[in-house]
Structure 1
């Protein structure tokens, strides 16, 4: 882990997506954070010690998903499938497949495995799974403010964790999608999907993979409008997210499952789609969801 001194920093962005605004001064207490996302090897040790069964390995409860088709009530998770041609990027269903048998041991489906991927971030992790690992490790999941403070690495006001250029002098600084999403990935960073942790430069705090590779769970309930101080002169102290009730998806009122904040973007973020490979970027995710591009890391507080 790396110690982060905390203190005051500028959180959010006014330049990209509305849910990141407004920029605001925030103060966080000191904490420690994992240098890397939790890997397959890390998670395997946890499962061997506890017998934990992830949500992706359990069939959905029809009572929690009104209207779900009976044939969909099987264990599985969402897997990204690259399209063959350009598609309308307003419809994610064209590249996401709910794959029966996909889970952390089988990241691309039941015929896949994690042999040779010990040092890749574990994926297909729902919030409950991340929380259980953190408790086992004697740690916790970071708040959104802690996560963003660590991701910025003390680089104040920059759009990216390393400055204001996405690829300075053509150098790849993180694992994200180069090319036209979701069908043409040039793989200039060397990776089609996840990459081994530590494959790209650490930020100025000595922390790796805060940007790209996999989205990371935080402990905060989603709020479309982050809290801001009523006075411009003052920093918000250790802000937390909204409430479970207010985090519900208004477009799916029949599903009463809260959403938490994801941070950091993933290997699927691209310049033509989802430019969320930035510290300020944030995304809501139902706590029972798992996908082939969501992982996590932990913090420890004094």
Structure 2
């Protein structure tokens, strides 16, 4: 059987459908891999923000209707199926580059890419040839990462996948309600203790950031989408592993062509010393066209 990458290339060589929008609604959403969350009034945000500039505060109540949300982050396997059906090209592929963390680059590569280092986050580099097919460097592939989350996908890429699947991105309020799992005012999906029973329940950075990830949770980079303990709604990896896009604008008054969108959950690169954002109430943002090696998504659907 061809590799995941090989299947995509093989299908394109045979003349895959080029107009992916023709497929919208063709597939019935697979709700077997989704959880139904009850509507009602829920809390979101916190009155004890760790990052005031991120607008975590104030804690407030919001009303939600019943909705479905994916149990897992969208995997490379699932995204490859989307590309096979639609011939879709991600924004990172069209731009020709995406952002990689420094530990995925050799010292020589870091030196050669000095002009492409992100000034505000010096451990990130813009690297040519990196995209969802080559997530950890231009010479990497996803052949053994089928059940890992797809990364290097922009908000727009995520929206197109969701449309094809008959779904949509969750709102920030829906995402946060799903993360909390009915545990109001708790830091994590399981409560306030990071390591219950001294066990790792999420994929984040252990050790000294940014130069010494001990990977005590078992993963230096992404983990499979079904790794770690699920919450009460049977949802995996709601915090840690990869950031997840939501539907919401960061600034509701932003009418630019490339506004910032809210992302939630933190990632395998988060460490309390600089990015204590693997909490349900935490949030951050990126422009719609942004992509990186720790940024993915999951889908939602109206009930």
Classify the TM-score, shorter chain: 0.7 to 0.9
Counterpart-to-counterpart distance in 2, 1:30 and 1:163:
23
Which residue of structure 2 lines up, in the alignment, with residue 10 of structure 1? 43
- The Cα of 1:244 is off from its aligned counterpart by 3.0
User: Which residues in structure 2 correspond to 1:105-144 (within 5 Å)?
Assistant: 105-144=133-172
Of 62, 66, 77, the match for 2:98: 77
Counterpart-to-counterpart distance in 2, 1:300 and 1:279:
20
- The Cα of 1:219 is off from its aligned counterpart by 0.5
In 2, are the aligned partners of 1:181 and 1:270 still within 8 Å (CA)? yes
Counterpart-to-counterpart distance in 2, 1:45 and 1:133:
10
Counterpart-to-counterpart distance in 2, 1:192 and 1:207:
22
What is the number of equivalent residue pairs in this alignment?
256
- The Cα of 1:93 is off from its aligned counterpart by 3.7
- Could you state the TM-score of these two structures normalised by the residue count of structure 1? 0.82
In 2, are the aligned partners of 1:47 and 1:53 still within 8 Å (CA)? yes
Counterpart-to-counterpart distance in 1, 2:106 and 2:138:
22
Q: 1:158 to 1:5 in 2, by over 3 A?
A: same
Which residue of structure 2 lines up, in the alignment, with residue 272 of structure 1? 273
Quick check: which one's helix share is greater? 2
In 2, are the aligned partners of 1:10 and 1:157 still within 8 Å (CA)? yes
Counterpart-to-counterpart distance in 2, 1:84 and 1:55:
26
Does 2:58 correspond to 1:37? no
Does 2:237 correspond to 1:209? yes
User: Which residues in structure 2 correspond to 1:186-197 (within 5 Å)?
Assistant: 186-197=214-225
Of 233, 236, 244, the match for 2:254: 244
Q: For each residue in 1:185-218, what CA deviation from the matched residue of structure 2 results, as whole angstroms up to 9, or x when unmatched?
A: 1111010110001111001111111111000000
How well do the aligned residues superpose, as a CA RMSD in angstroms?
Answer: 1.7
Gaps of 5+ in 2: 1-33, 108-117
In 1, are the aligned partners of 2:259 and 2:287 still within 8 Å (CA)? yes
In 2, are the aligned partners of 1:102 and 1:110 still within 8 Å (CA)? yes
Farther-moved stretch of structure 1 (36-45 vs 14-23) = 14-23
Which residue of structure 2 lines up, in the alignment, with residue 67 of structure 1? none
User: Which residues in structure 2 correspond to 1:149-168 (within 5 Å)?
Assistant: 149-168=177-196
Of 191, 199, 208, the match for 2:227: 199
Q: For each residue in 1:237-288, what CA deviation from the matched residue of structure 2 results, as whole angstroms up to 9, or x when unmatched?
A: xxxxx1333xx7xxxxxxx621000001000111211000011011010101
Of 146, 168, 174, the match for 1:146: 174
Gaps of 5+ in 1: 60-74, 224-241, 249-255
Counterpart-to-counterpart distance in 2, 1:114 and 1:27:
40
Counterpart-to-counterpart distance in 2, 1:84 and 1:181:
17
Counterpart-to-counterpart distance in 2, 1:118 and 1:132:
20
Q: Which has the higher contact order (CA 8 A, sep 6+)?
A: 1
| Structure 1 outlier segments of 4+, above 3 Å | 90-93
Counterpart-to-counterpart distance in 1, 2:292 and 2:87:
21
